[in-house]
A and B are shown apart, each in its own frame.
Chain A
Amino acid sequence: MVERVRVKAMMPPGHVRAPAYLRGKQGVVERPLGAFHNPEQLAYGLPAEKKPLYRVRFRMDELWGDAAENPGDTLDAELYDHWLERL
């Protein structure tokens, strides 16, 4: 089953691994990757709980609109669960 998600459009300060160009964009879960220690805490030497990580696939026209070279090309990125909202 295709799981559609949107990357939360939040802009928190500090070290995060969700690139700004993906925030607010919609994609589908390509595969779950398991749980990894949260880099947003690891980066500061804090105890880091494990968070589920997913590979999310975006269409280029979703990311770049009319500027996309080929709308059906795709971009996959790894995003932590707390950055995703289910649609």
Chain B
Amino acid sequence: MRQSEEIAERFPDLHPPFAAQAAIAEANRCLNCFDAPCMGACPTHIDVPRFIGKIARDNLRGSALTILDANVLGASCSRVCPVEVLCEGACVLHRYNKKPIEIARLQRFAMDSFHAAGGKLLRRSQEEHPEKIACIGAGPASLACAAELRQQGFQVTVFERRPLPGGLNTYGVAEYKLPARASLEEIELIRGLGVEFRYESEIRTQQDLEQLEREFDRLFIGVGLGAAHRLGIPGDDHRDVIDALQFIARYKTADPPPISESVAVIGAGNTAIDAANAARRLGASNVAILYRRAERHMSAFAFEYEHAKQEGVRFLWRVMPVRIHSDEHGIRAIECVQAAVGDDGVLAAVPGSNFHFDCQQIIYAIGQSPLLELLSSCRSLELSNGRVVVDRATGATSNPKYFAGGDCVNGGREVVDAVADGKRAGLEIAWSLEVAHA
């Protein structure tokens, strides 16, 4: 992995870590609520008052282990979670006109200390079970499932099509939130438990799956989503029309991509914002997000929108790209029309409203397709809208040998949701195998 100093310099921590004294002062603000709303709001139900209390009482190892007990990716979650709508959003101090406890930064403090001290994940049981589980994909859902099963003594192998583990944690999260090396450091602890990782091992065909079914007792599908939706307009095959996730993956794990003076980002979700901010930090002076609907419809979180404005990203609302203009020097502009909602409620182009937005690069982030080719190869696996249908409490699918979680199940949520899915599935797989034994 190449991690240039330039990237580290251009993408410093958005939320700098606490110094020890500041962490203890912040930890002491926590009321230690009973049945704390922050714990309830966390998809992995980290016992927040418990880990914060341990920071206040100078028990940092206990604090980190409290976090890891609920969420094995507690370090990355502390950096990438949209805590404004999760734990910190639920803090009762909001109702007392006080700042909520900085839970994410405290969690990061505990996890950073754990990593710095060379902490290792604990096994839940010292027993070894012979049963083998394959986790397909090395993203957060699979990692959580794999860790849970290995901690209980099962034999787990993770198959990943890319050269590095972590999925979007490594390849897709803005570097100022979670540097790729921090993601890899965290996964190293899971590998240290004895989980086997096979990289550049894509499971694609029915034959691949049948091979796994023969070799493994249970399969967990944590493959995430597939290819990005393309713009579908004339000129979108130009080499400077870039998929946002590929753009982010490249600057995070390879050489920083050359960036143009002026960049258009299509879409207004959280990925679009990550890409637009990255384009700014990599040197583009004019970055605009083009969105076909209004400000209030954007799918990015409010705090992401605010952040993008601070980074100097402009927003153009109600514009639809219709064509990309280029010549032998490259892209010249993207042609757009104004969009309006008609009487029938359908978004339509306003005739004659065409305009050109001058730019040399276009980054698109308008969603991803499901990995239908793979998913439909799994026998008797029920799908709905391209998502695997599971029992939410257990991750069980319609095929008793298969379990699933993460974006391929929930359509694309947060890292912490994937971790919760993977852990629940891991617990259920362990239980189902023990029952089969008994």
Q: Do chains A and B interact in one complex?
A: no
**Interface residues, chain A, with chain B CB atoms under 8 Å away:** none
